[in-house]
Amino acid sequence: MQTIAEPTIVSRTKAAYDGVGGALWTLNHRIAPVWVLYGAIPWGSDLRKGEREVERFTQSWESGRVILDLPVGMGRMFPHYADRLKPSRLIAVDLSDGMVRRARRSAERAGFSGNGDFVAADVASIPLPDASVDYVLTEGGFHHFPDREAAVSEFMRVLRPGGSIAGYALVDRENLRGSLSLRICHRFSLMAEPISAARLRSVFHAHAAADWQESKTGSLLCFAARKPEQ
């Protein structure tokens, strides 16, 4: 399979989420039956289960800390922040300016009154200092990131020693339907080249991630890891 050039994926993904695609994606998240079907039909996944798994991974996260949410999308986890995590600072980052605007509105609707920063940026160059965040949430990002090595490197760079990361991603080779859907999306430059769970796990391990946890539902890999204390 031909590998799509990184600039093509980045530009097309940004254009899709800046435009009508971003509005449709937001609507998809807000209408529960549509969200369920989106997980089941192309990916063979229970997305609600995936979200519950990420919430389980974050149960040990302490309140009053700094959280980076990337890609933030429409800010689906903001009610969770407002109710339990109460971050001292929330940094919401997405490649798409349109999704950043939607995330800001979602934060307002959720009653999130913390110190929120909303930034449009690429995961390969996160505009934050080293060791500046306690936790990273990355839901639905890695199947879009063309350079997974750069993404994990940046996440580990901005995490403080002992900090944690949790999220989920669509991965290859879990079921025929999901693998086919990933290849179609990649063919049209809407997702990066499909990556297996084993390969994604190895990228994290190569960047010294510790305490790896994972679970799967269809093609959805839910995962958590920690940056070792130094």
For 70-80, the pLDDT digits (tens) are 999 988 888 87
Tell whether the model's pLDDT for residue 2 goes beyond 60: no
Predicted pLDDT at 7: 59
Predicted pLDDT at 6: 56
Predicted pLDDT at 85: 87
Q: How far apart are CA 147 and CA 139, in angstroms?
A: 16
Q: How large is the average pLDDT for residues 158-185?
A: 97
pTM: 0.91
Average pLDDT of the chain is 90
Is 6 exposed, middle or buried (CB count within 10 Å of its CB: 0-12, 13-18, 19+)? Answer: middle
Predicted pLDDT at 1: 31
Q: How large is the average pLDDT for residues 190-197?
A: 94
Q: How large is the average pLDDT for residues 27-55?
A: 89
Q: What is the pLDDT of residues 6-39, one digit of tens each?
A: 557 778 777 777 777 777 777 777 788 888 899 9
Residues forming a β-bridge with 221: 169, 216
Q: How far apart are CA 11 and CA 81, in angstroms?
A: 30
Q: Which of 24-28, 79-83, 96-100, 213-217 has the lowest mean pLDDT?
A: 24-28
Strand, helix or coil for residue 8: helix
Q: How far apart are CA 43 and CA 176, in angstroms?
A: 9
At 84, is the pLDDT very low, low, confident or very high (cuts 50, 70, 90)?
confident
Predicted pLDDT at 3: 41
User: 142 versus 15: which is more confidently predicted?
Assistant: 142
